[in-house]
Chains A and B, each alone.
Chain A
Amino acid sequence: MRRSNWILLGFIGVLTAFSLVVMWPSEPWRYLPDAIPWPEGQGIKFPFIKLDGANIEGTTVERRAMRLGLDLRGGTRLVLEADTSELSDDELDRALEGASDIIERRVNAFGVAESEIQRQGDNRIAVQLPGIEADEAIRKIGKTALLEFRELQRDDQGNVAVNQNGEVTYVPMPVPTGENDITFAARYNQLLESAVWVPAKATGRDGVEKELTGRYLSGAYFGTDNLGRAVVNFEMNDEGAHLFKQITTRLIDQPLAFFLDGEPIRGADGSIQAPRVNSVISDQGQITGLSFDDADYLAKLLRAGAFPVPLTVVQQEDVDATLGEDSVRQSVIAGEVAMLVIILFMVLHYRLPGLLAGAALFVYTTVVLAVFKLWPVTLTLAGIAAFVLSVGMAVDANILIFERMKEELRIGRSLVIALDEGFNRAWSSIRDSNVSTLITCAILFWFGDQFGASLVKGFALTLAIGVIISMFSAILVTRTFLRLVIGARWLRNPAFWAPDLRQRGALIEQEAGATPGGGGGGS
């Protein structure tokens, strides 16, 4: 038995050393007294086999830092809600799936690291964007990116519909009066500004009349024309080319405008971009007159596609990064203080076992933090709170055992027997009480999952991990420590175990052979 204890101790030692290396922060001076030159943490590298679809590739996983939630690292969380009014359940599901994909593509295109896009409930999408402010995030995701091709509304005589303060009148198209008509451009632009634009329609291959939109784009690229100006080149798919050909045939010499989400695309000079159609085009075209940034942005938007369903922001959270950093520091220090005070209390109250419980608590903490880092669990403020609480609960298991040991000692059991009895008897309450906490965790997790309260979910997961590891710590770690300590004769001094026993004259040094049947009296 003694040998197996040494093996266990070795195992615990290796586990703790490993965990310590894993969890050690890369900037330890932020959390620890800076009088001591703490070594910088290096994280840990693992060769992992990642199954990525069909091709298996070996990748290395390296974790240098805890994964932190938005409340601790700063960033934005948005919840977008789909307009369900015009869709059946099945369509809604597909539309949301599509919208999630599009958001993901857009977010990736704009280079947001570690973003998270999740379906939430029936009609929502939650988006987490670390390190980005809300309005920027909303802009990046965009409401919709529906590109439309619109033409002027005209009457039979070819007059153009103009909207003047809500009143639509038809005016003739301005024509240049001569070679040097300097007012023509202004008059023409004025007309484009006030004209009524209608979607350009054509008959599709299936015989149905369709509006030409960005839906029929197969690609959009930023580029420059031969004068070095920014342009967006776009390509149509088969159906799009079919429609585009009919439209450009019909609109030869007439303007064709690009509308994005119902608004005309304006050039760098603020004018509506409505190039005249020079020739029949089918499968590709060009949008000109934009600034470099806008052209680049538009190309990305068009590439990422339009949302299949209108989305609105229903929930929004954002946290400044420095505030998050402060929270981390404060919470870690709070945790350290809590742990020191708990260990102090344990040592003062339970003496030697209390000290061992403190050591077990150290093992517990390093293992839990290592698990958090390797899993990786996204740590939030609530998660840190849960962890500190789980420290309190981990101590509970020890307290249960020590109280039980004391009782056994009081009724005259030897230390060795008292230890085993203490553990055996305390086990059922440790098990039952922890299971009930795990039940609560499971329900909290579900509760958090239901409406994407990542705060609550993180809390539940952290607490559950803490509770499970605390059971391991209480049963295995503390017991091994105690058993080994009992092996040393000089440590069996009652003063180390339970000072009140000496006054009662209890026989703490009795050997294992002592009569165990003595205890019936209870109180």
Chain B
Amino acid sequence: MFDFVRRRNFYYLLSLLVLLPGVISLIIPPALKAGIEFTSGTTFTARFQNEVEEDELRSALGDLGHPEARVQRTGENKFLVRTSELKGTTEAPPLGPAPEGERDILEAALVERFGSMVDADGEVVDRFIEYASVSATVSREIGRNAAIAVGAASVAILLYISWAFRSIPNPFRCGIAATIATLHDVVLVVGAYSLLGKLFDMEVNTMFITGLLTVIGFSVHDTIVVFDRIRENNARYPDLDLPTSVNNSILQTLGRSINTSFTVVLAVVALLLIGGVTIRPFLVVMLIGVITGTYSSIFVASQILVTWEERDIPRLFRRIAFRRAPAPSEG
């Protein structure tokens, strides 16, 4: 039978190599392309009746005083545009029509330039079909709350695992190992997202945070299945040493791990191919997260248990210390 445990240091190295590009991308600013919820601004979707090229729209927006506008084609003559916050419709007199806000001016100018704007059914509406705007005061709070949510989720899960696995020796180790694996997945997903942001302008929005938290849940889900098996094997064969036990558990749950991830990946891919653009960041996160979540439960979380038990790290230190020790004594 395949020995998963023996090559654990190789897997750590592999993980580091996979994490590296993302981490480097995170170091190079901007780490992540923040969506309007985190930086304030406006996004809207415009669909034109006539042929419109992405570049034409971009330069038109530049002429209209929005050189910062980012334009992304999302369908046939349909574009998702992000600009700085459009103001003006926030205050309205109680009588008579609302004053022209920047939005109205922009809509009118685009219609004049490119012809009618239509809705999803092709009816002429001359309006944006989707519009969202967030001011700076709100975005600051959302950013802070998102960080709190990710932190709280991690801590709660760590505590739950330590409690659920209280029957095996050192349950806290399980919690820590699962948390490190989860962290591994979070860093990988965020890093991958950072790369996607640099390459394809993918933005971080609340759906991304939702996806990230779901990935945390999934990752722990996978880890728990393997740990549950270790817990069971330990109870059944108390004489078996931990590395063997962990290896057996990985082997015994391997089929399930792969099949489950596969079905979830199927569901995500179906949504990705057919579903709307709005949740695409979420789905991309899920896709990466489910795969790495399965990987990390086998190749990170379980391996850490063995590393800890075998005291690999103290040994590593001792080896380094031993190698170094003679040098100064000779000198």
Assess the A138–B259 pair: CB atoms within 8 A. Answer: no
Assess the B286–A455 pair: CB atoms within 8 A. Answer: no
Chain A to chain B: the 3 pairs with minimum beta-carbon distance, closest first: A440-B217, A320-B129, A338-B270
Assess the B137–A265 pair: CB atoms within 8 A. Answer: no
In the complex the two chains form, what is the Cα distance from A227 to B93 in whole Å?
A: 29
Contacts of A121 in B (CB 8 A): 141
Contacts of B210 in A (CB 8 A): 382, 444, 455-456, 459
Which of B89, B129, B221 has a CB less than 8 Å from the CB of A134?
A: B89
Q: Hey, which bits of chain A sit against chain B, CB under 8 A?
A: 71, 79, 81, 121, 133-136, 138-139, 142-143, 145, 260-261, 263, 265-266, 294, 297-298, 301, 312-323, 325-327, 330-331, 333-335, 337-338, 341-342, 345-346, 349, 381-382, 384-386, 388-389, 391-393, 395-396, 399-400, 403, 406-407, 425, 428-429, 432-437, 439-444, 446-447, 450-451, 453, 455-456, 459, 463, 522-523
In the complex the two chains form, what is the Cα distance from A359 to B86 in whole Å?
A: 51
Q: Which of B17-25, B64-72, B151-159 is near enough to bind chain A?
A: B151-159
Give B262 Cβ to nearest chain A Cβ, in Å.
7
B222 nearest CB neighbor, chain A only: A433
Instruction: Tell yes or no: B105 within 8 A of A by CB.
Output: no
In the complex the two chains form, what is the Cα distance from A451 to B225 in whole Å?
A: 34
In the complex the two chains form, what is the Cα distance from A393 to B283 in whole Å?
A: 15
In the complex the two chains form, what is the Cα distance from A326 to B45 in whole Å?
A: 14
Assess the B213–A440 pair: CB atoms within 8 A. Answer: yes
Contacts of A425 in B (CB 8 A): 232
In the complex the two chains form, what is the Cα distance from A325 to B276 in whole Å?
A: 11
Instruction: Tell yes or no: B209 within 8 A of A by CB.
Output: yes
Which of B224, B248, B255 has a CB less than 8 Å from the CB of A436?
A: B224
Q: Hey, which bits of chain B sit against chain A, CB under 8 A?
A: 1, 37, 45, 89-98, 101, 103-104, 119-121, 123, 125, 127-135, 137-138, 141-142, 145-146, 148-149, 152-153, 156-157, 160-161, 164, 206-207, 209-210, 213-214, 216-218, 220-222, 224-225, 228-229, 231-232, 237, 248, 251-253, 255-256, 259-260, 262-264, 266-268, 270-271, 273-276, 278-279, 282-283, 286
The listed residue with most A CB atoms (<10 A of its CB), out of B123, B248, B264, is: B264
Assess the B94–A261 pair: CB atoms within 8 A. Answer: yes
In the complex the two chains form, what is the Cα distance from A139 to B104 in whole Å?
A: 14
In the complex the two chains form, what is the Cα distance from A266 to B96 in whole Å?
A: 10
Contacts of A334 in B (CB 8 A): 270-271, 273-275
In the complex the two chains form, what is the Cα distance from A341 to B138 in whole Å?
A: 41
Contacts of B232 in A (CB 8 A): 425, 428
Interface class of chain B by DSSP: helix
Which of A298, A386, A400, A463 has a CB less than 8 Å from the CB of B256?
A: A400
Which of B94, B135, B141, B217 has a CB less than 8 Å from the CB of A451?
A: B141
B277 nearest CB neighbor, chain A only: A327
* Given A135-B89, A294-B95, A297-B95, CB of A320 within 8 Å of CB of B130: yes
Assess the B266–A341 pair: CB atoms within 8 A. Answer: yes
Contacts of B279 in A (CB 8 A): 381-382, 385
B136 nearest CB neighbor, chain A only: A314
Contacts of B89 in A (CB 8 A): 134-135, 138, 313, 316
* Given A135-B98, A334-B274, CB of A436 within 8 Å of CB of B220: yes
Assess the B248–A323 pair: CB atoms within 8 A. Answer: no
* Given A314-B138, A316-B131, A432-B228, CB of A323 within 8 Å of CB of B94: no
Assess the B225–A400 pair: CB atoms within 8 A. Answer: yes
In the complex the two chains form, what is the Cα distance from A270 to B259 in whole Å?
A: 73
Contacts of B141 in A (CB 8 A): 121, 451
In the complex the two chains form, what is the Cα distance from A315 to B131 in whole Å?
A: 11
Assess the B137–A314 pair: CB atoms within 8 A. Answer: yes
Assess the A436–B160 pair: CB atoms within 8 A. Answer: yes
Assess the A429–B263 pair: CB atoms within 8 A. Answer: no
Give A431 Cβ to nearest chain B Cβ, in Å.
9
Give B211 Cβ to nearest chain A Cβ, in Å.
9
Contacts of A326 in B (CB 8 A): 120, 276
Assess the A440–B264 pair: CB atoms within 8 A. Answer: no
Give A393 Cβ to nearest chain B Cβ, in Å.
7
B221 nearest CB neighbor, chain A only: A433
Q: List 24 A-B contacts (CB under 8 A).
A: A139-B97, A297-B94, A301-B94, A314-B134, A314-B135, A317-B131, A317-B132, A322-B129, A327-B276, A345-B262, A382-B210, A385-B271, A385-B282, A388-B271, A428-B231, A432-B228, A433-B222, A436-B160, A436-B217, A446-B149, A447-B213, A453-B37, A453-B142, A453-B206
Assess the B153–A342 pair: CB atoms within 8 A. Answer: no
Which of A260, A298, A345, A399 has a CB less than 8 Å from the CB of B266?
A: A345
Contacts of A349 in B (CB 8 A): 259
In the complex the two chains form, what is the Cα distance from A346 to B256 in whole Å?
A: 12
Assess the B157–A436 pair: CB atoms within 8 A. Answer: yes
A441 nearest CB neighbor, chain B only: B217
* Given A341-B266, A436-B161, CB of A389 within 8 Å of CB of B214: yes
Assess the B98–A139 pair: CB atoms within 8 A. Answer: yes
Assess the B228–A428 pair: CB atoms within 8 A. Answer: yes
Assess the B278–A381 pair: CB atoms within 8 A. Answer: yes
In the complex the two chains form, what is the Cα distance from A67 to B229 in whole Å?
A: 42
Contacts of A385 in B (CB 8 A): 271, 275, 279, 282-283
Contacts of B206 in A (CB 8 A): 453, 455-456
Which of A71, A260, A435 has a CB less than 8 Å from the CB of B94?
A: A260
